[in-house]
C-alpha cells in the first residue's frame, strides 16, 4: 500500500514538474476555490437549525435560562426577548428547564402564601393578600394574545364604621405592554374589565382603568371600551358603516385599476356621504274587480218607497190662523194632502292593495373619489375612460344625473414591492454562487484532463510518424536504384551483365 502511494506521489510530482508556471498558478487557484466552495456548502448543509423555545421573556428570565442551558451543555442563542436552541435539543431543553421550574415569568400570585411567618401581623397579611390578587390577575391577563406584560394595581373598598360615612368603592388600574403593531379589540378590552372586576370584591367594570405602554386610554370615563381612534364604541356604529362602505368601494376600484396599470401602481381614496335617515311609508290602492270597469262590483242593493195621503181642516173665513201652511177656505171646508219617499242603497266591492315599505338603514348620497396612477402623463381620452369606469364601479350611471366627484391624476411615484412576486430559487444569490463554483470546478477539471491527455499522447503520436518517414525514405531509394539499373540495362547491356556477375560472386 505504501509503495502504491509512493508511486502515485511520484507520478503527481512528475506531472507537476512538467507544468508551466501559468498552469501551476491556475491549478492552485482552482484548488483553493474548490476547497472554499466545499467548505461553504458544507457549512450551509450541516449548520444547526436554531428554534425558539421561549419568547417574550424579561432580561432577568433570559439570563436564568441561558445560565441553566450552559450548565446542561446545550448550545443556545439569546435574542432581544427570546432564547433559541438547536432543533435536536428543543424538546430536551424544554423538559429539563420545566423540571427546574424555569422560566419564572410573571408575578407570584397566591404563591406568596407558600412561606408564611408565625408572627405575621394583620397589616402584613393584608399587604400580601393584595399582592396575591394583583399578581394572579396580571398572570391571567398575560395569557391573552397580543399582551406581552401586565401590571395591576387594586384599591380595596373601605368598610365604613358609621352609617353616615360615605362608602368608598373598589378601584383598579391595569397597565398593558402590547406586542409591536398589536391593538386590542373592544371585545378584548371589555373582557379584561370583566376579568378584573370579577376577581376583586366590590369592584364594578366601570371602575377599572386600562392603559397601554404608550399611556393611551383603552376605556373612557364611563367605563366603555374605546375604539382604535379613541372614540367610544357606542358612538361609532354609523362611522363604522361609513368606513366599511368607503373600504369596499376603495377595494373594488383599486383591484380593477391594478389589472390595467399593475399591482401597487394605483392609489385610491374614497369618501362617502352617507344618509342614515330611515323612512317608511304605506301605499293603499283601490281597483275595480272587473278589468275595464269604472265602478266596483255590486254586492247588495236595496230600494224602498213610501207614499202618504190625508185631509186637513180650514179655518173660518177672515180669521187669522196661527198655522201659516193651513189652507184657508172661504166657507171653512176641509182640504187634501199627499207625500212620497223613495230610498235606494247600493253596496260596491273594490279590490284593495296595501303596500308597506321602508328605506334601508343608510343610503349613499354622494361619492368623492380620488385616483392617483403611477403614470407620468395621461391623455384626455384615458382620463375620461378611467373616470367613467370608476363611476360605474361604484354603482353609478354615466348619464350625467349622478352628482359624484371623481378626480383622476397621473403622477410617477415609488410603488411598494409586490409581495407575491418572489424570486425563484435559481435567482437567489446563493444558488448563483453555487452554480458559478460548479462551473469553475467543471472547467478546471476539464482543462486539467485535457492537458494530461496531451502530455500522454505526444510520445505515442511521434513514434509512428518517424517510422513512416523512414519507410518512405527507404522506398524512394530503392525505386531510384531500380530506375538506374533499368537505364544501365538498356544503354549498356554488357556492363549490366558484368555487374550482375559481380553481385552473384559476392553472395
What CATH architecture does domain 243-277+359-411 belong to?
A: 2-Layer Sandwich (3.30)
Q: Which three cell numbers stand for residue 170?
A: 373598589
Q: Report d(CA 456, CA 452) in Å as an integer.
A: 6
In CATH terms, are 110-159+167-225 and 243-277+359-411 the same topology?
A: yes
E strand or H helix at 379: none
Cβ within 8 Å of residue 197, ≥6 positions away: 172, 203, 204, 205, 207, 208
- Can you give the residue ranges of every domain in the chain? 1-46, 50-100, 110-159+167-225, 243-277+359-411
CATH architecture of 110-159+167-225: 2-Layer Sandwich (3.30)
Q: Where are the alpha helices (DSSP H) in 143-291?
A: 186-197, 237-261
Buried b (16+ CB within 10 A) or exposed e, 100-131: eebbeebbebeebeeeeeeeeeeeeeeebebb
Cell of 290: 272587473
In tens digits, what is the pLDDT along the chain, a chain of 507 residues?
577 777 777 887 887 877 788 888 888 888 888 888 888 887 777 778 888 887 767 788 888 888 888 988 888 888 877 888 888 888 888 888 878 777 765 555 555 555 666 667 777 778 888 888 888 888 889 888 888 888 999 988 876 665 555 667 889 999 998 888 888 888 889 899 999 999 888 888 889 999 998 888 888 877 777 766 555 554 467 777 888 888 888 988 888 888 888 888 888 999 888 888 877 878 888 777 777 777 777 777 777 777 777 665 555 555 555 555 454 544 545 556 777 777 778 777 777 878 888 877 788 888 899 998 888 888 888 888 888 888 888 888 776 677 788 888 888 877 665 554 555 555 566 666 777 777 777 777 777 777 666 655 544 444 444 444 445 555 567 777 777 777 777 777 777 777 777 777 765
Q: Which residues of 162-171 are buried (b: 16+ CB within 10 A; e: fewer)?
A: eeeeeeeebb
Contact present, 205 and 194 (Cβ < 8 Å): yes
Integer-rounded Cα radius of gyration of the chain: 57
Among 93, 86, 90, residue whose Cα is nearest residue 46: 86
Amino acid at each position: 500500500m505504501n509503495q502504491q502511494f509512493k508511486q502515485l506521489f511520484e507520478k503527481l510530482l512528475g506531472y507537476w514538474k512538467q507544468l508551466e508556471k501559468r498552469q501551476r498558478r491556475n491549478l492552485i487557484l482552482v484548488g483553493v476555490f474548490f476547497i472554499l466552495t466545499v467548505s461553504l456548502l458544507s457549512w450551509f448543509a450541516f449548520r444547526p437549525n436554531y428554534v425558539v423555545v421561549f419568547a417574550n421573556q424579561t432580561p432577568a428570565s433570559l439570563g436564568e435560562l441561558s445560565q441553566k442551558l450552559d450548565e446542561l451543555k446545550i448550545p443556545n442563542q439569546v435574542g432581544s426577548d427570546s432564547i433559541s436552541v438547536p432543533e435536536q435539543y428543543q424538546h430536551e431543553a424544554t423538559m429539563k428547564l420545566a423540571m427546574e421550574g424555569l422560566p419564572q415569568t410573571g408575578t407570584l400570585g397566591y404563591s406568596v402564601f407558600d412561606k408564611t411567618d408565625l408572627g405575621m401581623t394583620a397589616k402584613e397579611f393584608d399587604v400580601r393578600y393584595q399582592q396575591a390578587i394583583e399578581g394572579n390577575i396580571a398572570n391571567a391577563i398575560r395569557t391573552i394574545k397580543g399582551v406581552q406584560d401586565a401590571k395591576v394595581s387594586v384599591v380595596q373598598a373601605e368598610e365604613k364604621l358609621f352609617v353616615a360615612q360615605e362608602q368608598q368603592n373598589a378601584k383598579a388600574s391595569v397597565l398593558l405592554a402590547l406586542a409591536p403593531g398589536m391593538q386590542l379589540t373592544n371585545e378584548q378590552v371589555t373582557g379584561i374589565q370583566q376579568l378584573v372586576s370579577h376577581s376583586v370584591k366590590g369592584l364594578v367594570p366601570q371602575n377599572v382603568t386600562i392603559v397601554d405602554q404608550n399611556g393611551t386610554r383603552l376605556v373612557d370615563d364611563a367605563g366603555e371600551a374605546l375604539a382604535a381612534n379613541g372614540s367610544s364604541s357606542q358612538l361609532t356604529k354609523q362611522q363604522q358603516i361609513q368606513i366599511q362602505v368607503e373600504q369596499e368601494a376603495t377595494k373594488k376600484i383599486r383591484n380593477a385599476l391594478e389589472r390595467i396599470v399593475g399591482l401597487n401602481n394605483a392609489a385610491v381614496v374614497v369618501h362617502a356621504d352617507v344618509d342614515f335617515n330611515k323612512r317608511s311609508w304605506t301605499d293603499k290602492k283601490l281597483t275595480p274587480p272587473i278589468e275595464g270597469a269604472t265602478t266596483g262590483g255590486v254586492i247588495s242593493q236595496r230600494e224602498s218607497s213610501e207614499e202618504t195621503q190625508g185631509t186637513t181642516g180650514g179655518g173660518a173665513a177672515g180669521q187669522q190662523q196661527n198655522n201659516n201652511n193651513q189652507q184657508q177656505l172661504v166657507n171653512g171646508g176641509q182640504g187634501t194632502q199627499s207625500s212620497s219617499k223613495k230610498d235606494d242603497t247600493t253596496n260596491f266591492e273594490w279590490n284593495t292593495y296595501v303596500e308597506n315599505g321602508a328605506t334601508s338603514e343608510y343610503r349613499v348620497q354622494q361619492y368623492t373619489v380620488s385616483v392617483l396612477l403611477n403614470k407620468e402623463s395621461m391623455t384626455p381620452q384615458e382620463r375620461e375612460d378611467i373616470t367613467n369606469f370608476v363611476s360605474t364601479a361604484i354603482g353609478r350611471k354615466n348619464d350625467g344625473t349622478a352628482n359624484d366627484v371623481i378626480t383622476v391624476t397621473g403622477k410617477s411615484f415609488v410603488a411598494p414591492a409586490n409581495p407575491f412576486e418572489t424570486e425563484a430559487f435559481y435567482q437567489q444569490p446563493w444558488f448563483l454562487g453555487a452554480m458559478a463554483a460548479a462551473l469553475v470546478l467543471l472547467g478546471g477539471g476539464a482543462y486539467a484532463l485535457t492537458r494530461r491527455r496531451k502530455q500522454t499522447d505526444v510520445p505515442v503520436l511521434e513514434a509512428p510518424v518517424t517510422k513512416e518517414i523512414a519507410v518512405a525514405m527507404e522506398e524512394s531509394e530503392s525505386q531510384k536504384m531500380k530506375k538506374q539499373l533499368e537505364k544501365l540495362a538498356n544503354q549498356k547491356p554488357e556492363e549490366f551483365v558484368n555487374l550482375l556477375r559481380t553481385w552473384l560472386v559476392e553472395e
